[in-house]
């Protein structure tokens, strides 16, 4: 289940956003306030992720016999668009010159928030890989680059302390543009990746294919013609084209098919198995 992870992300972003905004007012740091508002905007992607996760777990119906798992990819595409928009917003805002008068406590607040954000990112990415969930991976990647953006904010605050306001504005423009470009690049990469998955993507992992091949190949009088593992978000559909002996009876073929399906479905990721036959002499 990925809902728990997304709820954790939602409340973490809420906490960090409040701390940054409140801390920004206390320390008189507009950079910290802006970074806090940006952090609060991340809650929007968490909400989208929660909705997408719930919809992707809907049971199969007449129009969608293989379930609704690909909604995960559509949701991740929407989240990617949010990332791209934030990147452009960052670039546009970089040209809005503002004065900064802050103190060293703003550095401490932001440093602690960066550590928490990086920990959240690692947590989401780790869970996303474990659960094979594109929403968590997208959310985790976004959190990681948000933390990198906060590092630039940390630099801006530091420069505001050791330099004059004019120097800070110059650094602010350059840094914001860099953050914006990197953010847009990440968003586009995630968007294209998930768009490929929506169109139709197979699992090309060699180790996984070899594992499934070894399970199927142990049945006598059969030979694998083709094995295809289709991705459906957090689960997979396996299509097997199988050569069988020409003299094999339908009863024998059905028995083998049932055993293969039962064994493959022990794997939590495999939800559907489809097997077709072609007669051929099997050694």
Whether residues 160 and 264 fall in one domain: no
- Domain assignment of residue 265, given as a range: 206-279
Which pTM was predicted? 0.59
Residue ending a domain, choose from 152, 176, 199: 199
- pLDDT tens over the chain, length 283 residues: 457 887 888 888 889 888 988 887 888 776 777 777 767 666 666 676 677 777 777 777 777 766 677 777 777 788 778 778 877 876 776 676 555 556 688 889 989 999 999 999 999 899 888 877 777 887 788 788 788 878 877 887 787 777 755 555 555 566 667 767 877 887 788 788 777 767 767 777 788 888 888 888 888 778 888 888 887 776 788 888 888 887 888 888 888 888 888 888 888 788 888 888 888 766 6
We report the CATH number of the domain holding residue 255 as 3.30.70.1350
Helices 30-56 and 134-162 cross at an angle (nearest 10°) of 180
Whether residues 84 and 181 fall in one domain: yes
Whether residues 135 and 214 fall in one domain: no
Distance, CA of 200 to CA of 212 (rounded, Å) = 20
We report the CATH number of the domain holding residue 159 as 1.20.1510.10
Domain count, the chain: 2
Residue ending a domain, choose from 199, 228, 255: 199
Whether residues 51 and 139 fall in one domain: yes
Residue ending a domain, choose from 199, 224, 258: 199
């Amino acid at each position: 289940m990925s809902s728990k992870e997304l709820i954790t992300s939602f409340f973490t972003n809420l906490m960090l956003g409040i701390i940054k905004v409140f801390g920004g007012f206390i320390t008189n740091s507009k950079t910290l306030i802006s970074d806090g508002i940006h952090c609060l905007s991340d809650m929007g992607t968490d909400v989208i992720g929660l909705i997408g996760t719930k919809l992707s777990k809907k049971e199969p119906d007449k129009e969608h016999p293989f379930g609704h798992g690909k909604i995960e990819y559509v949701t991740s595409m929407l989240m990617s668009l949010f990332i791209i928009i934030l990147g452009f917003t960052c670039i546009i805002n970089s040209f809005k010159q503002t004065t900064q008068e802050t103190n060293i406590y703003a550095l401490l607040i932001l440093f602690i928030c960066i550590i928490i954000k990086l920990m959240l990112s690692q947590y989401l990415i780790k869970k996303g890989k474990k659960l094979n969930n594109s929403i968590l991976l997208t959310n985790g990647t976004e959190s990681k680059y948000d933390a990198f953006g906060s590092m630039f904010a940390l630099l801006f605050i530091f420069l505001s302390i050791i330099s004059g306001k004019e120097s800070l504005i110059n650094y602010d423009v350059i840094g914001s543009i860099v953050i914006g470009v990197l953010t847009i690049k990440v968003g586009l990469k995630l968007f294209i990746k998930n768009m490929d998955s929506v169109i139709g993507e197979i699992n090309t992992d060699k180790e996984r294919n070899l594992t499934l091949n070894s399970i199927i190949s142990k049945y006598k009088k059969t030979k694998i013609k083709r094995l295809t593992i289709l991705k459906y978000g957090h689960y997979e559909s396996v299509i097997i084209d199988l050569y069988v002996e020409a003299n094999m009876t339908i009863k024998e073929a059905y028995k083998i098919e049932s055993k293969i399906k039962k064994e493959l479905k022990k794997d939590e990721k495999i939800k559907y198995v489809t097997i077709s036959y072609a007669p051929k002499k099997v050694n």
